Structure 1
Amino acid sequence: MSVEVVTLGCRMNLAESERIRGMLAGETDTVVVNSCAVTAEAVRHTRQAIRKARKARPDARLLVTGCAAEIEREAIAAMPEVDGLVANAAKLDPRAWNASASAPTSTSAHTRAFVAVQNGCDHACTFCVIPQGRGPSRSIGVADVLRAVEADLARGAAEIVLTGVDLTSWGHDLGEERLGRLVTAILDAFPTLARLRLSSLDGIEIDPVLEERIAHEPRVMPHVHLSLQHGHDLILKRMKRRHLRGDAVALVERLRASRPGIAIGADLIAGFPTETSDHHAANLSAVRDLAIVHGHIFPYSPRPGTPAARMPQVEHETIRTRAAELRAAVAQERARWLAGLVGTPLSVLAERDGTGHSPEFARVRLPTGTRPGTIVTITPTRIEEGLLA
């Protein structure tokens, strides 16, 4: 049987899994679990994926990489289903897999390509364990990024998504470079590239050139996902974030003034240690004030070795309730937003499952027979099961 790569977690893992799949294309009967450890729940899902993979393919070689394999190394290695671990820092090195150095970095055509341009993180958010799994921030140079984009375009990608653990820190280790410079280089090098999308951004690190591209460049998708984390300044300070609520509000106001249809997404944590009902109310109001329509809601869970794990904890049931309320608030904003798109012609990139995404990242059901990878104009007339149709 062929190589199977099971991906959990972030878009960074998605991009890396594609490269791992390419490097192992010549192997047989191998399963790789590319794990996540951002929360305790993510580690639980990793364990479930390992057990499920072993049950489905009892004779395969099963290898685990990713953040859970780094942070929970001893526990993951002790699982009877696991044959070996590959260090997170080495997972894009063919030698770590005993693969040829000339192995391809991808084997399949795709409609949307994830290009990892940065890895690791230099910040010390009190809740986050990812720097332990990913190490310090490292940027991929412009020339290497352009080569990767060129290869993905040659394989048929109609949209490029730039990803990173801390994407907006790209270039800090390259001197005076900033992410806006990289975005400009890609747009200049590939004038036929129709769509460039950015994964999660730290709003306080968005440089003036990047903000200008997001606000005014039609080929940069009108969709910004902010690493917001919370809507109350005191909790943001206890998280050791570098922005305040007002910074996010001001950024979104500027972007909407220049590009009124821009869609806002955000990561939000429910039940951070010391969070009171008033703090939670500020989180809920941030969803409304910023009109967050793409929400990633994380119930807080203490991670080993982090300062937040030593702070006074919120009761588990309270965390679950607050997370549900945040999800409901986002769902309300999203429903209102989708209703506003009904009757509006949308440029939709067709994918392989019969749906596609608009520039704002609204998911749209497509007419039967629409060819994947094509960009078609759809004017939705209704909403069905959360999709425009």
Structure 2
Amino acid sequence: MAEIISLGCRLNIAESEGVRALIGDRDAVVVNSCAVTNEAVRRTRQAIRRAKRERPDVEVIVTGCAAQIDPQSFSAMPEVDRVIGNSDKLSPAAWRSDDAVVVRDIMALETTAPQFAASFAAHARAFVEVQNGCDHRCTFCAIPYGRGNSRSVPAGIVVDRIAALVDAGHREVVLTGVDLTSYGPDLPGAPSLGMLVERILHHVPALERLRLSSLDSIEIDDRLFSLLTQERRMMPHVHLSLQAGDDMILKRMKRRHSRRDAVAIVERLKSARPEIAIGADIIAGFPTETDAMAANTLAMIDDCDIVHPHIFPYSARDGTPAARMPQVPGDRIKVRAASLREAGSRRRSRWLAAQHGTVQQMLVERPGDRGHVGNFAEVVLERPARLEIGSIANVAITGTTDGKLTGTAA
């Protein structure tokens, strides 16, 4: 029986379902790896060893970003039988091959592989890849070497895929990509992400909820902004790739926005649609970061009303420019990451408390007594209940516990 262990981003989740469809009933464990940080690579190795301990007689196959970037280190692990890179993980030929390592030059890829999964059996919401790779070279990031250059899925294929998922019973779809807002320039007519979203909403009227994964704030154009703030089927939840809140650090990261840009887009979003919840990726302890620079980033939690913070302690990735910059001591990085998490927790607690007494629509997730509402707050039902997984339920919000809302089915 096949088992897929998916680490990292939502794009990996989407691709894992494609892998599941390709391998069928093959007796194997597939570890779909992540390489965004050194900690992610460590967890990948940990997952491989655990999988082999638990199922010593089955084939262990490693794929994903870490496998693409450093295939030899994984093929050298005694627990690993095969390595298949991102270059080939959605290729039927790669899964039929007997080669121990199937990894091609990711930079040579010009198109994305089609998705094979008809539904997402393990998830209430479905994840649809519309873009892969990245043309930008942020100084801290190794992901372009695991994903290649930016390439987009034609809109017609995306629409057909989403229509099929809705027909299969999915009521919420998440569009995923490595650099989602760079969608389109490589396609005929150079459509934008906003144009793709418009087409999806027009051609799949039965789709009830559409959500976007991480966005580059500087690339939210007027069309996409209007959809995020005016289209009710677009969930009021925007996750931004901010990374820092200090202009000098942003410049050294080679980001394309300033602190002022980030604050301004959040103010515009919240002014146009106050219920929008803001999430953000933030790196603590980037090389050369002083206490004053760290304070500027810490202030972004409140300045951008970040209630879904993803805090990453900086870790140097081999081959990246940031790894050659003067490094911040590890103990100082931990302190700064803790401060960011504490500030995020305080902001989130106030935001959750403000939702007490409201009635919201929740997408029911496993095991049927919890789920996420439109702003992506997680809700746990107070009284034992088992609602239909994948259904949408009205929930009366009654309180907060452990960073989650509590409620009762209305």
SS at match of 1:380: strand
Aligned counterparts of 1:108 and 1:265: Cα–Cα separation in 2: 24
- Counterpart AA for 1:373: G
1:109-124 alignment, distance < 5 Å = 109=121, 110-124=123-137
**Deviation of the 1:105 alpha carbon:** 2.2
Find the counterpart in structure 2 of residue 64 from structure 1: 62
Aligned counterparts of 1:18 and 1:308: Cα–Cα separation in 2: 34
Correspondent of 1:265 among 238, 257, 279 = 279
- Counterpart AA for 2:5: V
- Contact (CA 8 Å) 1:5, 1:33: kept in 2 or not? yes
TM-score by length of 1: 0.97
1:79-118 alignment, distance < 5 Å = 79-98=77-96, 104-106=116-118, 108-109=120-121, 110-118=123-131
SS at match of 2:130: strand
Correspondent of 1:140 among 147, 153, 170 = 153
Aligned counterparts of 1:43 and 1:106: Cα–Cα separation in 2: 30
Find the counterpart in structure 2 of residue 358 from structure 1: 373
- Contact (CA 8 Å) 2:245, 2:299: kept in 1 or not? yes
Aligned counterparts of 2:293 and 2:356: Cα–Cα separation in 1: 35
Rate the CA distance shift 1:312–1:104 in 2: closer, same or farther, 3 A. closer
Aligned counterparts of 2:331 and 2:238: Cα–Cα separation in 1: 31
- Counterpart AA for 1:15: A
Unaligned runs of 5+ in 1: none
> In the alignment, is residue 158 of structure 1 matched against residue 171 of structure 2?
yes
Between stretches 238-247 and 84-93, larger displacement belongs to 84-93
**Deviation of the 1:327 alpha carbon:** 0.7
- Contact (CA 8 Å) 2:126, 2:165: kept in 1 or not? yes
TM-score by length of 2: 0.92
- Contact (CA 8 Å) 2:247, 2:258: kept in 1 or not? yes
Correspondent of 1:173 among 179, 186, 189 = 186
Find the counterpart in structure 2 of residue 5 from structure 1: 4
The percent identity for this pair of structures is: 56
Find the counterpart in structure 1 of residue 236 from structure 2: 222
- Contact (CA 8 Å) 1:65, 1:86: kept in 2 or not? yes
> In the alignment, is residue 313 of structure 1 matched against residue 327 of structure 2?
yes
The superposition leaves residues 266-320 of structure 1 with CA deviations (integer Å, 9 ceiling, x where unpaired) of: 0000000000000110111000111100011110000010000000000001001
**Deviation of the 1:384 alpha carbon:** 2.0
**Deviation of the 1:360 alpha carbon:** 0.2
Aligned counterparts of 1:205 and 1:172: Cα–Cα separation in 2: 13
- Contact (CA 8 Å) 2:348, 2:403: kept in 1 or not? no
- Counterpart AA for 2:271: A
Between stretches 167-176 and 364-373, larger displacement belongs to 364-373
- Contact (CA 8 Å) 1:291, 1:333: kept in 2 or not? yes
- Contact (CA 8 Å) 1:116, 1:162: kept in 2 or not? yes
- Contact (CA 8 Å) 1:21, 1:106: kept in 2 or not? no
Aligned counterparts of 2:51 and 2:280: Cα–Cα separation in 1: 32
Rate the CA distance shift 1:70–1:378 in 2: closer, same or farther, 3 A. same
Aligned counterparts of 2:14 and 2:120: Cα–Cα separation in 1: 13
SS at match of 2:250: helix
Q: CA RMSD in A?
A: 1.5
SS at match of 2:361: strand
Correspondent of 1:37 among 35, 38, 46 = 35
Find the counterpart in structure 1 of residue 214 from structure 2: 200
Aligned counterparts of 1:102 and 1:248: Cα–Cα separation in 2: 34
SS at match of 1:12: helix
1:14-33 alignment, distance < 5 Å = 14-27=13-26, 29-33=27-31
**Deviation of the 1:365 alpha carbon:** 1.1
Rate the CA distance shift 1:343–1:103 in 2: closer, same or farther, 3 A. closer
SS at match of 1:172: coil
Rate the CA distance shift 1:103–1:211 in 2: closer, same or farther, 3 A. closer
The superposition leaves residues 21-74 of structure 1 with CA deviations (integer Å, 9 ceiling, x where unpaired) of: 1111132x2010000011000000000000000101101111100111011222
SS at match of 2:87: helix
Between stretches 85-94 and 52-61, larger displacement belongs to 85-94
Aligned counterparts of 2:279 and 2:347: Cα–Cα separation in 1: 11
Find the counterpart in structure 1 of residue 105 from structure 2: none
SS at match of 1:377: strand
- Counterpart AA for 2:386: G
